[in-house]
Amino acid sequence: MWDLLIVNPFTNILLLIYAFVGNFGVSIILFTILIRIATHPIMAKQIKSGAAMQELMASEEWKKIQEKYKNDKEKLAQEQMRIYQERGINPFGSCLPTLIQFPILIGFYQSIVRAISATPMQMIDLVRGIYPWLENITAKASLSALIPINSQFLWMDLGQPERVIIPGLAFGIPVLAIIVGLTTFVQTKLTMTPSASPNDQTAMMNQQMSIMMPLMLFYFSLNFASGLAVYFIASNLVGILQYAALGKVNWNNLLVFGSNKTAAPAKKSGK
């Protein structure tokens, strides 16, 4: 079922884009943009939910109940739920969209690995999963034209973890993984929501996120097929653009490091 609903459609879209552009790296980038566009409403909702939650946590009413019921967790939870209902906030509103994007990421990675097919055994699923009608759209999407996929993109083999070998060095340098780490760091910093107090849990979590996420994606890029790293980089850059378009990019955050404080987003001009 997972294959039928997620991996096969993703693989076929990737292959169709590849058939038109003839470059698998560019196909990954274009498909990433497509996914970002398709999930834009979800992301916008997530940002809105996050902002509402943030506003709530900065409110006097919220602070009062935190103080008043600090020794009665059950009552505190009841009061929090009451406030959520009164203000029409879904406390899971910022989590659910992430959950929805989660299978997309997994499915996308599986489809990259399948399309590249590092072994004959992996290729069985690829050949089986190609929609026969794909070649009706363009002859370049026939089995004969598609296989083998050229997995070379710039200096890398998209089916293998990337390393740049420098003569004289005993180890390869993971350039792509470093770029993934950097772009993830920049994206996380730029898109952090402002906190009311530098010591509150949101600020601390933001701080953890800005360190943990880049390290995490760096680790993935270091060990997994470099096609995934291309996806991460494209996704980070498009994500920054999306946030910028929504006026939610905090450019000043790039200059703030080592503090729990996050800057307020720049106001959109004309508003």
Partner 1 sequence: MKFNRLFLFALLATLTLALSACGAPPATNWPGMSTDGDLIYLSSNSHVYIVQVQNGTESTANISGKITPLRFPIEADPGKMSFYAPPALAEDGLMVVGSAAAGGHALYAADSATGNVRWTFDNTKPWLGGALILEDAIFAPSGDGTLYAFNMSGSKLWEKNLSTHALWTTPVSDGNYIYLATLDHKMYCLDPNSGNIVWSKDLDNGMIGSPAIVDGVLYVGTLDGNLYSIDASNGNTNWVKSLEGSIWGTPGFGEGSLYIGTVFGRAGKFYALDAATGEVKWFRDEEGSIVAGPLVTNEQVVYVTELGRIQSLDISGAPKWQDNFEKNKIFTTPLLVQDTIVVAPMGSQFLMVAYDLNGAKKWTFTPAK
Q: Which is nearer to partner 1, 34 or 215 (CB)?
A: 215
User: Nearest distance from residue 29's CB to partner 1, in Å?
Assistant: 19
Q: Which is nearer to partner 1, 16 or 149 (CB)?
A: 149
Residues 6 or more apart whose Cβ sits within 8 Å of residue 123: 117, 147
User: Nearest distance from residue 70's CB to partner 1, in Å?
Assistant: 14
**Nearest residue to 226 via CA among 123, 127, 156:** 156
Q: Cα separation of 210 and 59, whole Å?
A: 25
Q: Cα separation of 171 and 96, whole Å?
A: 41
Q: Cα separation of 190 and 186, whole Å?
A: 6
Q: Which is nearer to partner 1, 56 or 244 (CB)?
A: 56
Q: Which is nearer to partner 1, 126 or 234 (CB)?
A: 126
| CB-CB neighbours of 36 under 10 Å | 18
User: Nearest distance from residue 106's CB to partner 1, in Å?
Assistant: 5
Q: Which is nearer to partner 1, 148 or 258 (CB)?
A: 148
Residue-wise DSSP of 211-250:
HHHHHHHHHHHHHS-HHHHHHHHHHHHHHHHHHHHTT---
User: Nearest distance from residue 102's CB to partner 1, in Å?
Assistant: 7
Q: Which is nearer to partner 1, 30 or 156 (CB)?
A: 156
Residues 6 or more apart whose Cβ sits within 8 Å of residue 271: 247
Which positions touch partner 1 (CB under 8 A)? 94-95, 98-99, 102, 105-106, 109-110, 113-114, 118-124, 127-128, 143-144, 147-148, 150-152, 157, 159-161, 201-202, 205, 208-209, 212, 216, 219-220, 223-225, 228
Question: Hey, is 259 helix, strand or coil?
Answer: coil
Geometric angle at alpha carbon 148, from 146 and 149, rounded to 5°:
70
Written as one letter, the residue type at 226 is: S
User: Nearest distance from residue 110's CB to partner 1, in Å?
Assistant: 5
User: Nearest distance from residue 143's CB to partner 1, in Å?
Assistant: 6
